[in-house]
Structure 1
Amino acid sequence: MADAMVMRAQQFINETYAGKLGIPALEVDGKTSWTVMYALTRALQYELGITSLSDSFGPTTLSTLQSKYPKVNASTTPSTKFTKIVQSGLYCKGYNGGGIDGVFSSTVAGSITELMTDMGVAGVFEAGSLAPKVFKGLLTMDAYVVTGDGGADIRTVQQYLNANYVKRQDYFVIPCDGHHSRTVAKSMLLAVQYELGMADGVANGNFGPGTQSGLKQHPVSSGETSTWVRLFSGAMILNQRPNVPFSSSFGTALGSAVNSFQSFAKLPVTGKGDYSTWASLLVSYGDQDRQGQACDGVTKITQARANTLKAAGYKYIGRYLTNPSTTDLPEKAIQIGELQTLADNGLRCFPIYQTFGRDASGFNYAAGNAAAIAAANAADDHGFKDGTRIYFAVDFDAYDYEVTDNVLPHFKGIVDGMAIAGNRYKIGVYGPRNVCIRVSEAGHATASFVSDMSSGFSGNYGYPLPPNWAFDQIVTKTIGSGDGSINIDNNIASGLDTGQGSFNPPVASMPDSLFNQAYYPGLLADVRSYMQSIGFAEDDGKIYTTGQCLETIIAGDVAVTNTARAYGMRKALIQTTAFWEFRHYGNEDLIKDAGVWLYHNGYVPDWAKDFPKVDAFRDSSTGVGQMFGRAGVLCWNNSIRSGLVTGTPKDPDKDSDIFSVWDKLRTDNDFALTSVGHAHIWGADGKPGGTAAEQETGIRRPSLDYKESEIYEVLRRYQGYEEPAFTDARKRMPLYYIFEKYNRMMR
């Protein structure tokens, strides 16, 4: 809703500082935003005589303000414009600015006092006067009243920190909105450092060796009354522990809450505020000297390494189901015989699935759908039993909006994909605390594997340990020596998930067999479900429905199977590409095909063939695989020259050669499906013979052990080197794994 006084503030900025602030004119919409606050900050800098303006109310702005106007009130305000900036800031904050008239009235002074009271600093600075640090807080989007589902107890802690430490050099007014955050967490660490006696410029809000050493000298326990108890109880409240009194006295209620927290976090239950408890409250990784019972790593567990792990007290070993890379970390994925080694040594394994998701762009519904089916297939291959929980990784610092826009849809895709896979495996989430909490609250995961080593992640800083945490990753270390040496991530285990201690025999990698029609109803249901989830209704106006397209692909199963077996590739590569292309065949394609046929059959006279755009009739994407005649010529030429098939190469620039292949692609489904296989080989080879733009660096040819990155790349190359090839390849990955799910049933 537009606020009339905020509109006036925006108008004041535009009219007074047009062309002076180095930013475009503000939209006069009556809505407070960072854009407005940044403009007010620049206006203040301008009035202070600062020549290099910026959005940041940084050290230069603060020191200049402190030097010139250490307190701004009716007696000291230098100009009406200066006062209007104050009034505008008050209105944007929700306080009464007394109009935007440049008069520093009693209303303005009263609102400043009200603001400082909300901040918790009313007793620190002179009433009615605006101190530099309060001015800085005024020109932010921070709230000083409880917002949303914020807690009054957290706000009390925030106000206490402001009141007691705001005059220290590196402490600035923090929000008092009832929400824990990165800023609040750092301020709590600063408070601890100040109480440890660290000087300004030394205290930095980091949990370094000096802070750790100091905290070890300041445990708190029942019966004690001190500032340390006050800070400890505040840290408990910020971590959302229930029934904690914010007090300087360590009473029964605090002792009970400490026992509960220590039990929850798997700390020694002492009822005291010892170092390990302090550490767990102040930073996500806590006391990194704690010995975990769980670990994860990217190294094969040999007998020697199993001995090392057992001797160190580890029971639960996290290992990766797949390795998407063909070059990095050769032992990242579970190796042949490894699970049996774990079982023989009484160790248990919890599986992790991670591909290339290092930023938000890799997370979406389609990618999640593919991940679930791929993970389930891989778990089957390794021999994991039904009921095993697979942890799907979000291994980057996802901001809250990215969790909303990318991660949650991704995990909805995982849930739906796991349903396609038969719901035989449970879903866990690996990631920062906020990711784990939100994915679990959405009902998309039943346990969390928390990446707490990354304490600086925005998704860890200021968030509590998730209620359903199973493993808490706190430090990387190397244990053992010689053949038994192994680098691991040390994890605390809650006991919620104990992994698996026995396994089915691993599934051997076998060539694909002919499709068993008994599985067709299930395949059709899964394909329809997925296609509908990405916007393709069963009958969406295209020439062929989902069912008709799938039926056509399966009808050509002999050709698909023979091609796949002949060249050592998975049938799913051919099936996925052909189905996706055929499903997109529409009336415009039918018209183009007709034009090509007419062109090559003499219905376009010679005198018209040089007209603009007539050349477009020379070729079109046609048939089940929607392949151009020229592409068909080139992919078959590549296979002929490679010795995969016999024959005489054709000329990709000759009309008769293009048409002979094009017509066969259009009318002979078996030839078209076989050509898809050869096109994948041609694509992997880098498309030799193609135009300079078409040619790419060669990769390994399709094989039975193709990695996920290779599958994606070959699917993408079939469609081309420009969008939507990349986007569509991501959408086709779930289809690949659906086909693969059923093909493996026939092996």
Structure 2
Amino acid sequence: MADELVRRAQQFVNVAYGSRIGMTVAEDGRTKWEVMHALTRAVQLELGLSPLSNSFGPSTLAALTSKYPKLNFGTVPSDNFCRIIQSALYCKGYDGDGISGTYSPRVQAAVTALKADMGLATAFPGSDLTPKVFKGLLNMDAYVVVGSGSATVREIQQWLNGRYIGRRDFFAVPCDGHHSRDVAKSLLYAIQYELGMADGTANGVFGPGTQAGLRQQTVGRGSTGIWVWLFSAAMLLNKRPVGFTGTFDAALADEVGAFQSFARLTLNATADFPTWASLLVSYGDQSRTGEACDGVTRITAARAATLRAQGVKYVGRYLTALSKTFLPEKPIQPGELSTIAENGLACFPIYQTSGRDASGFNYAAGRAAGYAAMNAALDHGFKTGTRIFFAVDFDALDGEVTASILPHFKGINDAIADAGNPYVVGIYGPRNVCSRVASAGHSSASFVSDMSSGFSGNLGYPLPADWAYDQIVTRTLGSGEGRIEIDVNIASGRDVGQSSFNPPRAVVPDTLLPADLYANLELDVGRYMESIGFPNDGGVRTHSHQECLQTTVRAHDALITELSNRYNMRKALIQASAYWEMRHIGIEDHAKDAAVEAYHKTGVGERDSSTGIAQIFGEAALRAWNHCINREFVTGVIRDPDNDDHLYAAWQEVRNDEAHALRTVSLLHLWAVDGKPGGKNPPEGEAVLRPMALDYMEWEIFEILRRYQGWDSEAREHAGQRMALYHVLDKYNGIARHR
């Protein structure tokens, strides 16, 4: 909601400074970083600093401290300098006295109130604006409880500010009642200061010196003083129901015991080092041993013996591979699950593709991940009821969780529900991601990437309530044949993996699709397409779901099976490409066909267009056939793409002959594997892939589907959507080939 007083502040900074600070701000009455950056630049200009920066950093603080250690009625250097202060007050929700240019009693009262809200009334009494308070004024931190913020957390924030603001590297934290990265770091600074670390040594990092100091600061029932205050603060910031107190009473002891039980620490109801560590940093005490591990190395009998000797019971292994050469043992290897079971271990499966940022996560990608993980789990022999942990292996910000991760996991759940829920959904990721996905009802247990302690989704967030595995450190165990590097995981018992398995499904050629599978295939494909906006009746498109599936899957199943076997190509690659294109045909495509016909008969119109059930350009068909003839994949006559008659003949073939169009789809895929030599999309060609194979990995399948359409952003987006379609089709092809 727009605030007219904030709008007035925006108008001031634009008029007085816009031409001199290299930026103007929108005059929309909304407080945001843009406004704070402009006001910061205005301060720097008044201080004579250059170059100007959006950051109120050390140089700005030093200059302000040197020139104006106390800003008040008598020291404010100019009317505009005062107006900067008044504008910032309005943006923070305090009285700016009309941006009058005078450090008036109203401004003095506002600054006094600001310092009280920050917890600095005692440290900086009166109405003087001191440099560190000014720094806090020119950011987006709130100093009153916001939303669902806790009054007790705010009390801790104010206490930290008031007690430590005088230290060189300590700056005011928000007092909004919410735990955060800055608050977590400020608590570490406080601990370091109380341990006696000097300015410049204390750095807010849970390093060796801090750990050594805390090992000497065990407190328990009956203890009093600063270490109890700090410990109770750490408990509260981890959402444990205690009071902020300096006395370690029975109530605090009981809650410490409850936390230790929850985090699988030694139960002693005292603030010992492992408990301090688990409260202060996501990975906790990294000297702990865990009953679980995950890794990228095959589990052999010798390695299994090493793990058992270390007390490991559960091993996390990956369902799929990202590369044939990089970390070749990362995915579960042939026979490995039998070895795991025979050696008394259990396995929990992890599904991870190359999504290392938010762009790889969306609803359609989630559907694809769900289908792909189920197919892979079946291939390996995981039984019904196994929990699969789907990875979010990056530092997803809270807004990215809302926009990308939650829809992605909705897609995963919908895919698995469509299949009758043969598997259970878990999540691997930072604390905040895991907690939010669980709260949305999209996961049943969390595998927490707590080794990444610097992730914004870990620092300042408690261990998720549904945690199953807590990843804390990488460690190398054993020697000789038994040597293995693992990530050590603490296990809560919420997930125990699987210790027996069905026989794995071998990589075998595709077969004809049995008639009894078709009804369920039609239902699953229709559900998916409807979920991404394609109604089964066709909607505004020319062809219905049933018509497209009949044409591109069922009617030509013998041909597609023959092509699959001949070219070592999964049937789903041909089916998905053709079905997807046919579902998109609309009246505009018929108009383009007519324009091509006109061109080749009258010379007026379009020379080429995508056409037929698989929407193939005549030139693309011609070049793919030429390439495959040269590679001896197929026989035929080489034709010239610059010859109109040759081009038109190729265009008519893919337009009018369904079987020829489907055969051309397979050749287009083979051409794509070789980088589309001679093509124009893109002009420089594509990277050459490994030869077509039945064991193509996820990224290779994506590349084939993407290259069929092109190389622009739409082609990538559609390829992501077609991945799910591919996996639905391959699910049923898989059932057929393993009967």
Same fold (TM over 0.5): yes
- Deviation by residue 1:670-700 (Cα, 9 ceiling, x = unmatched): 1211111111111111223434716323212
- Alignment-derived partner of residue 560 in structure 1: 560
CA distance in 2, matches of 1:79, 1:677: 75
TM-score (norm: length of structure 1): 0.96
Correspondence list, 1:282-297, <5 A: 282-297=280-295
SS in 2 for 1:391: strand
1:449 aligns with 2:444: no
Question: Of the candidates 275, 300, 306, which is equivalent to residue 277 of structure 1?
Answer: 275
- 1:621 alignment partner in structure 2: 610
Matched, 1:18 2:54: no
Aligned to 1:640: 629
Once the two structures are TM-superposed, the CA of residue 595 in structure 1 deviates from its matched residue by: 3.1
Counterpart CA distance in 1 for 2:524 and 2:716 is 23
In 2, Cα distance between equivalents of 1:108 and 1:597: 78
Deviations 1:32-60 (A, max 9, x none): 11111111111122222223221111111
Q: 1:696 maps to what in 2?
A: 686
1:339 matched residue in structure 2: 337
Which digits, 9 at most, give the CA deviation of each residue in 1:479-535, with x for residues without a partner? Answer: 011111111000000000000000000011121111122222211221122112222
Q: What are the superposed Cα offsets for residues 40-86 of structure 1, whole Å, 9 maximum, x if unpaired?
A: 11112222222322111111111111111111112222222222222
User: What residue is the counterpart of 1:577 in the other structure?
Assistant: 577
Whether the 8 Å CA contact 1:189–1:206 is kept in 2: the answer is: yes
Task: Work out the CA distance in 2 between the residues paired with 1:512 and 1:702.
Answer: 14
Partner of 1:249: 247
Q: Is the 8 A contact 1:319 1:349 kept in 2?
A: yes
1:402 deviates by 0.9
Distance in 1 separating the partners of 2:89 and 2:676: 64
Amino acid corresponding to residue 580 of structure 1 in structure 2 = W
- Is the partner of 2:55 in helix, strand or coil? coil
What does 1:483-494 align with in structure 2 at a 5 Å threshold?
483-494=481-492
Matches within 5 A, 1:569-608: 569-600=569-600, 603-604=601-602
Range with greater deviation from structure 2 (97-106 or 675-684): 97-106
1:189-228 matches, within 5 Å, as 189-228=188-227
Greater mean alpha carbon deviation, residues 646-655 or residues 354-363: 646-655
Q: Which residue of 1 aligns with 2:298?
A: 300
Q: 2:350 maps to what in 1?
A: 352
* Cα distance in 2 between the residues matched to 1:8 and 1:687: 59
Distance 2:616 2:65 in 1: 71
Q: CA deviation at 1:438?
A: 0.6
Q: How does 1:437-476 map to 2 (within 5 A)?
A: 437-476=435-474
Relative to structure 1, is the Cα distance of residues 44 and 689 closer, same or farther in structure 2, using a 3 angstrom cutoff?
Answer: closer
- Which of 664, 677, 701 is equivalent to 1:675? 664
Query: How many residues are paired up?
Result: 734
Whether the 8 Å contact between 1:622 and 1:662 is mirrored in structure 2 is: yes
Distance between the aligned counterparts of 2:645 and 2:53, measured in 1?
A: 66
Alignment of 1:429-444 (within 5 A): 429-444=427-442
SS, match of residue 11 in structure 1:
helix
Give the alignment of 1:101-500 within 5 angstroms.
Answer: 101-242=100-241, 244-500=242-498
Match of 2:518 in 1: 520
For residues 152-206 of structure 1, what are the alpha-carbon distances to aligned partners after superposition, in whole Å with 9 as ceiling and x for unaligned?
Answer: 1111111110111000000001001000001000000000000000000100000
Higher alpha-carbon deviation: 703-712 or 293-302: 703-712
Unaligned runs of 5+ in 2: none
Q: Which amino acid aligns with 2:295?
A: G
Comparing 287-296 with 49-58, greater Cα deviation is found at 49-58
Q: Which moved more, 1:93-102 or 1:342-351?
A: 93-102
Query: Shift in Å at residue 638 of structure 1?
Result: 2.1
Residue 739 of structure 1: aligned partner: 729
* Distance across 1 between alignment mates of 2:617 and 2:174: 62
Aligned residue for 2:659, secondary structure, equals helix
CA distance in 1 between partners of 2:440 and 2:59 (Å): 44
**598 and 81 in structure 1: CA distance in 2 versus 1, 3 angstrom threshold:** closer
Q: Distance in 2 between matches of 1:377 and 1:489?
A: 26
Shift of 1:357: 0.8
Structure 1: any 5+ residue segments left out of the alignment? none
How many Å separate the matches in 2 of 1:29 and 1:690?
50
Work out the CA distance in 1 between the residues paired with 2:134 and 2:621. Answer: 70
Secondary structure in structure 2 of the residue aligned to 1:588: helix
1:550 and 2:549 aligned:
yes
CA distance in 2, matches of 1:628, 1:41: 57
Secondary structure, counterpart of 1:417 in structure 2: helix
Provide the alpha-carbon RMSD of the alignment: 1.3
Distance 1:16 1:510, change over 3 A: same
- Give the SS at the match of 1:266: coil
CA-CA distance at 1:322 after TM superposition: 0.2
Whichever residue aligns with residue 649 of structure 1, its letter is: I
Q: Any idea what the Cα deviations from partners look like across 1:210-253, whole Å, max 9, x if unmatched?
A: 000000011111101110011000000011111x1111111011
Change in 2 beyond 3 A, CA 1:87/1:598: closer
Give, in whole Å, the separation in 2 of the partners of 1:362 and 1:523. 26
Q: Which amino acid aligns with 2:442?
A: H
Q: Say if 2:702 is the partner of 1:712.
A: yes
The alpha-carbon deviation at position 124 of structure 1 amounts to 0.8
SS across alignment from 1:449: strand
How many Å separate the matches in 2 of 1:119 and 1:723?
47
Q: Find the aligned partners of 1:175 and 1:137 in 2 and give their Cα distance.
A: 8
| Over 4 Å off, 4+ runs | none
The alpha-carbon deviation at position 598 of structure 1 amounts to 4.1
Structure 1, 494-503 or 7-16: larger mean CA deviation: 7-16
Q: Which residue of 2 aligns with 1:3?
A: 3
Among residues 717, 728, 736, which one is paired with 2:718 in the alignment? Answer: 728
2:606, 2:713 → 1: CA distance?
Answer: 23
- Measure the CA separation in 1 of the matches of 2:332 and 2:207: 36
Corresponding letter in the other structure for 1:590:
H
Counterpart code for 1:688:
P
Is 1:185–1:461's contact at 8 Å kept on the other side of the alignment? yes
Q: Which moved more, 1:582-591 or 1:339-348?
A: 582-591
Q: Secondary structure at the match of 2:20?
A: coil
Could you tell which deviates more after superposition, 215-224 or 110-119?
110-119
CA drift of 1:657 comes to 2.7
CA change 1:98–1:592 in 2 (3 A) is closer
Tell me if the contact between 1:71 and 1:132 (Cα under 8 Å) persists in the aligned partners: yes
C-alpha distance in structure 1 between counterparts of 2:19 and 2:45, whole Å: 12
Bigger Cα displacement from structure 2, 471-480 vs 6-15: 6-15
Superposed CA deviations along residues 117-143 of structure 1, whole A, max 9, x for unmatched, are: 111110111211111111111111101
Distance across 2 between alignment mates of 1:102 and 1:34: 23
Q: Which amino acid aligns with 1:312?
A: Q
The 3 A distance-change label for structure 1 pair 563 and 179 is same
1:701 deviates by: 2.7
Q: Aligned residue for 1:652?
A: 641
Moved more, 411-420 or 332-341: 411-420
